[in-house]
């Protein structure tokens, strides 16, 4: 049986390196997303962020995303970004946002991992438009940081875009893209150079929003910014 990861071609990965992001084949027909949604939601118990529950892990493994696909990304990480860590350096988290949750929006940031994969599991619609938690992202908003000091300084600089007003200014200036995920196509992007955030999930949204976020390969030292923030989050 062909796993989902085998449908991700070398052309997809070349486009990722060229443009900073790429849309992957749709998940519809690959897995029973309704069943995955119900199992993951039952396990995360209403938390907004939950790291790798059992159902989440089983789903990723069924798609070949923690091993086969990670191995291919690992090759890119070593060749193009000088990554010297381990292939198992991955961070997987479920993001669950209920309608009306205004806290989880407009928090623009860069990831600490080289690659970020967003897997849409349950995507709501909204009669008001742009109110179902859409992802807003600006590929190559900064260059790949050469060291942890540059990583910290540029992350701090881009904090100016961590508000609704600033994000709307970026959109008005056509400096970012918006992805609704209504086609259920995962998005893979270069996490350390892509500024990204989410629109709110409005009260009018048809249902809660569930995405699974796969982060691959943190090049920072053990006490780097990203590792420290993850440690604080998981306490």
pLDDT, one tens digit per residue, over 28-46 is 989 999 999 999 999 999 9
12 CB burial (10 A radius; 0-12, 13-18, 19+):
middle
Q: How confident is the model at residue 232 (pLDDT cuts 50, 70, 90)?
A: very low
pTM (two decimals): 0.92
3-state helix, strand, coil in the chain (%, to 5): 35, 20, 45
By residue count, the chain amounts to 235
Average pLDDT over residues 129-144: 92
Q: Where are the domains of the chain?
A: 23-233
- The pLDDT score that the predictor gives to residue 127 is 78
CA–CA dist 142, 121 (Å, integer): 29
Asked if pLDDT for residue 233 goes beyond 50, the answer is no
Superfamily for the 23-233 domain: Jelly Rolls (2.60.120.10)
Which tokens sit at 98?
């209920």
Q: What is the pLDDT of residues 44-53, one digit of tens each?
A: 999 999 999 9
Cβ atoms within 10 Å, residue 193 = 20
Asked if pLDDT for residue 205 goes beyond 80, the answer is yes
Considering the chain, what is the average pLDDT of its residues? Answer: 92
């Amino acid at each position: 049986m062909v796993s989902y990861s085998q449908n991700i071609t070398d052309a997809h990965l070349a486009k990722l390196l060229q443009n900073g992001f790429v849309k992957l084949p749709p998940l519809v027909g690959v897995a029973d997303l309704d069943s995955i949604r119900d199992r993951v939601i039952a396990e995360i118990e209403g938390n907004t962020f939950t790291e790798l529950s059992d159902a989440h892990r089983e789903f990723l493994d069924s798609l070949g995303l923690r091993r086969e696909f990670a191995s291919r990304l690992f090759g890119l990480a070593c060749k193009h970004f000088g990554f010297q860590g381990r292939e198992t350096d991955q961070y997987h988290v479920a993001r669950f946002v209920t309608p009306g949750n205004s806290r989880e929006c407009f928090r623009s940031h860069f990831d600490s991992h080289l690659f970020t994969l967003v897997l849409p599991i349950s995507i709501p619609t909204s009669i008001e438009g742009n109110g179902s938690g859409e992802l807003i992202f600006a590929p190559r908003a900064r260059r790949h940081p050469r060291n942890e000091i540059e990583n910290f300084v540029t992350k701090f600089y881009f904090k100016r875009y961590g508000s609704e007003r600033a994000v709307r200014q970026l959109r008005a200036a056509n400096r970012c893209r918006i992805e609704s995920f209504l086609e259920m196509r995962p998005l893979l992007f270069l996490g350390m150079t892509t500024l990204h955030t989410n629109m709110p999930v409005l009260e009018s949204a048809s249902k809660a929003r569930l995405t699974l976020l796969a982060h691959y390969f943190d090049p920072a030292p053990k006490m780097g910014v990203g590792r420290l923030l993850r440690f604080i989050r998981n306490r």
